[in-house]
Structure 1
Amino acid sequence: NHGDERYKLRLGAETCSCRAWDLSGIPCPHAITCLVYEGKDPVDYISNWYSVAKYNATYSNTMSGMDGPRQWVPVNLDPIQPPPFRAMPGRPKKKRRLSADEILQKDKKNPHKLSRVNRIIFCSKFKQSGHNSRTCPTKNAPPVACATSVRASQGPTGRGRGRGRGRGRGSSRGRGR
């Protein structure tokens, strides 16, 4: 009796209704309980397929190796082809198929960031292509003046292009006044 379930056990046939002993050849917990109750050793009821003699008989023959693919006899048959493509059931995907270079970009951390491959780099000091300011061959030379001045970027009034003056955040002012 195991909770609400009952199991029928036949020690002579070495079977139990739970079928664990039948399938594995090792007594199930129900059989072990019954064997211990009757004063018998459960090890004596383990299948002889688990014995050392059967193990040695299994591996007594030598296993010879096989020839590799280079030694195989060539056959004049067509090479094996993969099975034909079958559309899987379900609604088709809305996402378009990516090309090979897009798949490589997808594997990166940020797929929206452009790759720096095949880009022309410029030196910020001398405005020349082929190197940047870190790898500049003339590091100690004075930099070339920029074409745009500070005054030109500020506009005609000379004030710059900020976000405007705020009205402040006084605590005495009420909401919406």
Structure 2
Amino acid sequence: MGVHFKTILLVCITSLGLTGCKLTDETVQQEVTETKPKPEAMAHTQSSDALPNPKPRPKTDPFYPPADVLIGWHAKACGGFNVATDNKEFVGAKDIQQFFNFSCKNNTLAPEEVLTKLLKLDQAYYWPDDIKQYWWLQKQQIKQQINAKKQQQALSDKMQETLSSLAAIEQQLLLREETKEQ
């Protein structure tokens, strides 16, 4: 019983407090309107500060490039494919095309840098699912190139080690033959 009474009392006090604040606020508004300067003096400040823009900017969803356009840009950047020019403005179009130009030139030489740029581009925008899937495929392909490059380097290192061992053995054989001849 005591909890219900306290709750009811709290609601009553809160509602009275809010009403009191509202009444106090109205009396302050009346006092302020009485002390305001003449309308002629405020004409300049009201027109520039208080009036909202009559033409609000419409909210539109961002327009991302479709997958076929994205693939066309990639093919064009890597050569051998001409894309029909499109006058539409797509979100991130400039960044995508710069990435494809960089990727096609440096994919075999510096796949780590290409992967870094791709990760930055992937995080730069809220891409739709088809573009996210394309970026995922690109990441997988670049990671395979990085792994192939590492394997090639490891094989090359092992081959170099084997050649060094063979050269050392050849030197030892030549030294034995020279000592036998003497």
- Could you say which TM-score interval applies, normalised by the shorter chain? under 0.3
User: Looking at CA atoms only, which structure, 1 or 2, has the larger radius of gyration?
Assistant: 1
Which is richer in helix? 2
Structure-2-length-normalised TM-score: 0.18
Structure-1-length-normalised TM-score: 0.18
**Structure with higher RCO (Cα < 8 A, 6+ apart):** 2
